[in-house]
Structure 1
Amino acid sequence: MEKSNKIIIIGGGYAGLRTIEYLAKNKQNQIILFDKNPYHYMQTEVYDLIANEEDFAQVTLDLYTFCMGFDENVVFYKQEVTSVDFDNKKVITQTQRYSYDYLVIAVGSRTKFMPSIKGLEYAYGVKSLHRAMYFKQKFEMSLFNKVHEGGTHAKPLNIIVAGAGLSGVEIVAQMASYSREFYNNNNFICRTLNIVLVNSAKNILKGMDEKLVQKSKKRLRELGVLVKNERKVVGLDGVSVSLSDGEVLPMDFMIFAGGIEPNTLVYKLKLEKNSRGFIETNEFLQVKKYDEVFAIGDCTTIYNDGKVVPATADVSEQMAEFCAKNIENLVLDKELQAYKIASRGVLIALGRNYAASKLFGLYFNGYLAYIVKKIVERVYAKRLDRVAKRGCEKIFKS
């Protein structure tokens, strides 16, 4: 009888689920997935959630039924991992210790709320679902309150987004287009909107393709978004935001997308990390000192020709594929495969029915790019949903 391979995956994000899809094909792999939440959050679609184009059900996947959809060799435990004993190959949760032969750390990242910025408790992040849902409600209530004020002297709605990376740009574009469409469609007089994107760099979308940057800048101007480059948020008090150049902006609410940091577990793990606190890995995605342990997704940093590869869902899935292959190579005592990861394309959502994209070296923008982005998102969701439906059928039959 062949020996089974005990594989533990920590984190039910893009990287974790893709790893399961590959490894579950081998029935000798007995896989446990741990996550403190019972759902997978499709964060790439948060801009649609905020603007009511999608609801809670469309941006989440139930991890219980997903894991049940495989051939009895995958199980999900809704437990928070508190530490890992790497020397004895034990994953420790709040309730139990679990042994592993191979471990995949895929816990992702979170919004970095910098302690040096006073008043960040008044800001919202969107990397976690509960924060995104809370902000969505606040956004809708702000629109309603401005409508309720009415009259020609209604105060403007002041929206501030701090951070002009991909998340910040997509969210500010979606809010701008949604808000203006909302006012126009309902013929409300109170159409005054002040939407500001605060960016610490010289340009938005730092590190991204220059043509996409220019297309995005043009679109933001068309939407009436005011971009303030080379400035930082230094404080806020619930009604205003103070910038590093001394300017004070009125604020109804603010999204903080000014950076990311590893999730809490990473700080507790006794592993080598880089200067930003992310797990160090080798060319095979293994952590230092422990060949049977891999780190993938946003909790680690990888490089392409010496340059940091931006953390995206596409990159996370590619990392998962290399990770799964190398675990199989370890099992079979084969040579490991060094990762070769590059973006397969970029699709930037820039408001309702509009996107900018670069796919296979070709640039296009507008409604066509938007449709392509929605197709990519739907294909991803359908792939996971097919597995989850099999899991539902098994549960109903049992």
Structure 2
Amino acid sequence: MNRVVVIGGGYGGLRAVEGLSTYEDIEITLIDQNPYHYLQTQAYGYIAGEFDVNEVAVDLYNWSLGFKRVKFIQATVSSVDFVKQEVFMGEEQLSYDYVILAYGAKTNFFSFIEGLRENSYGVKSLYRAFNFRKEFENVIYKKLQNTDDSSSQELNIVIGGAGLSGVEVAAEMAHVIKNYSKTIGSRAKEIKIYLVDASETILPGTSDYIIKNTFKRLESLGVNILTNAFISKVDKSFVYFKDAEPLEYSFMIFTGGIKASPLNEVIESEKNKMDQLLVDKNLNISGFDNAFAIGDCIEMKGADGNILAPTAQSAERSAEYAAKAIKNRIDGTQYKGFNSSTMGIFVALGGKYAVGEVFKYIKVRGYIAYTLKTAITYGYYIGLRLRINTGFKNRI
């Protein structure tokens, strides 16, 4: 029996386990520091109060029990010895025949922006998303209460970073605030959302169709879009810009970049400026053909040689490749290098509205795009839930 250790219970890690579990000559150990899988692609709805926690988190222990040869360990991996083929979890260690590094990345609170980390939230972790949700609900509550100190005061919410996460969070919150006008009247208009990015446009790297229709939707929701806006400093009350007046704010979320997990710091391998691992064409750690790395912890390139965006889709494609590559190595069969590209993109834009593009040719917007995005997300969620139900039954 071949032992495979998968480090990380994110989108890539779970897809790798699913792929490997179909082979009867492989037993899998999944390791994550958290006992749950966080559906980060649903963070926008959770923060805005549209989703409950059970819709963005699933138990990894019960999920793993839904397979025949999968074991879950909740632990923090401290290092990996590729020569001795061992994973270290503090004083404990686990031997492997193959290992997949799939522990993702975290929000990059840029150190050159003074006060950014101390005064803003991220969405890469469920804990930070939970705290941000509480702050957002508190703003709504203040306006609902209509106290003297809040009834005539504008409350600004700043979202730093106009990539996919930032745009979706801004749109969903703006939609929720708009709906609250029925409950708190004109006071809802006093809650302002600012979407800030240093780039020339929102959603940099996407098509003109996606950018144009997303911009139009955000404007219709009342989102204030500030591009070419370089944040220089953040304190408890103001966001300061390089070439513009400070912006007073109530609370801030930052989605403007990622950096590798701390585990990358102890991995002895070549890395890029964001500390992401540089892997070969087979997604192997240099010099070790039984050690694979996937998802956000690596610099991933597509079929055209360009760097792929750090999305759940990219993580899953790389996971599928790694699972098949391991089986091919076990069987002694040849396999080609990783060759992938983004099949499409859907942007949730508040309520039952989205913008989407598939294979660069199929372009949709509005309710149709929302329906397609929801179907994809729901299919993924139901797959997890069915596996959890099986695991729960197996446990009892």
Which residue in the other structure is 1:161 paired with? 159
Aligned to 1:64, the other structure's residue is in SS state helix
* Alignment root-mean-square deviation, CA: 1.4
Residue 35 of structure 2 aligns with an amino acid whose one-letter code is P
The runs of 5 or more residues in structure 2 that have no matched partner are none
- Which of 279, 282, 287 is the matching residue for 1:281? 279
Counterparts of residues 202-281 of structure 1 (less than 5 Å): 202-281=200-279
**Aligned counterparts of 1:394 and 1:166: Cα–Cα separation in 2:** 38
2:346 matched to 1:350? no
Residue 86 of structure 2 aligns with an amino acid whose one-letter code is K
**Aligned counterparts of 1:223 and 1:283: Cα–Cα separation in 2:** 44
Q: Deviations over 1:327-360 (max 9, x none)?
A: 0111111112212211122110011111000124
Q: Deviations over 1:77-120 (max 9, x none)?
A: 00100001111111000241110110000010110011221222
**Aligned counterparts of 2:268 and 2:226: Cα–Cα separation in 1:** 40
Which residue in the other structure is 1:28 paired with? 25
Aligned to 2:78, the other structure's residue is in SS state strand
Structure 1 residue 184, shift from structure 2 partner: 3.0
**Aligned counterparts of 1:70 and 1:190: Cα–Cα separation in 2:** 48
**Aligned counterparts of 2:380 and 2:163: Cα–Cα separation in 1:** 23
**Aligned counterparts of 2:107 and 2:245: Cα–Cα separation in 1:** 24
- Which of 79, 91, 96 is the matching residue for 2:92? 96
Residue 146 of structure 1 aligns with an amino acid whose one-letter code is K
**Aligned counterparts of 1:195 and 1:187: Cα–Cα separation in 2:** 17
> Which range moved further: 341-350 or 102-111?
341-350
Instruction: Report if aligned partners of 1:150, 1:190 keep a CA contact under 8 Å in 2.
Output: no
Distance 1:5 1:153, change over 3 A: closer
Instruction: Report if aligned partners of 1:104, 1:294 keep a CA contact under 8 Å in 2.
Output: yes
Percent identity between the two aligned chains? 36
2:178 matched to 1:180? yes
**Aligned counterparts of 2:344 and 2:158: Cα–Cα separation in 1:** 29
**Aligned counterparts of 2:82 and 2:291: Cα–Cα separation in 1:** 8
List structure 1 segments (4+ residues) > 2 angstroms apart after TM superposition: 146-153, 183-191
**Aligned counterparts of 1:170 and 1:102: Cα–Cα separation in 2:** 37
**Aligned counterparts of 1:52 and 1:179: Cα–Cα separation in 2:** 11
**Aligned counterparts of 1:101 and 1:287: Cα–Cα separation in 2:** 14
Instruction: Report if aligned partners of 2:151, 2:187 keep a CA contact under 8 Å in 1.
Output: no
TM-score by length of 1: 0.96
Counterparts of residues 332-351 of structure 1 (less than 5 Å): 332-351=331-350
Instruction: Report if aligned partners of 1:146, 1:155 keep a CA contact under 8 Å in 2.
Output: no
TM-score by length of 2: 0.96
Structure 1 residue 283, shift from structure 2 partner: 1.2
**Aligned counterparts of 2:127 and 2:229: Cα–Cα separation in 1:** 29
Q: Deviations over 1:48-73 (max 9, x none)?
A: 111222100111111001111111x1
Instruction: Report if aligned partners of 2:143, 2:184 keep a CA contact under 8 Å in 1.
Output: no
Instruction: Report if aligned partners of 2:234, 2:240 keep a CA contact under 8 Å in 1.
Output: yes
Which residue in the other structure is 2:292 paired with? 294
Instruction: Report if aligned partners of 1:156, 1:192 keep a CA contact under 8 Å in 2.
Output: yes
Structure 1 residue 153, shift from structure 2 partner: 5.6
Structure 1 residue 223, shift from structure 2 partner: 1.1
The runs of 5 or more residues in structure 1 that have no matched partner are none
Aligned to 2:189, the other structure's residue is in SS state coil
Structure 1 residue 272, shift from structure 2 partner: 1.5
Which residue in the other structure is 1:306 paired with? 305
**Aligned counterparts of 1:44 and 1:339: Cα–Cα separation in 2:** 24
> Which range moved further: 333-342 or 347-356?
333-342
**Aligned counterparts of 2:350 and 2:10: Cα–Cα separation in 1:** 25
Aligned to 1:291, the other structure's residue is in SS state strand
Aligned residues: 392
Instruction: Report if aligned partners of 2:99, 2:290 keep a CA contact under 8 Å in 1.
Output: yes
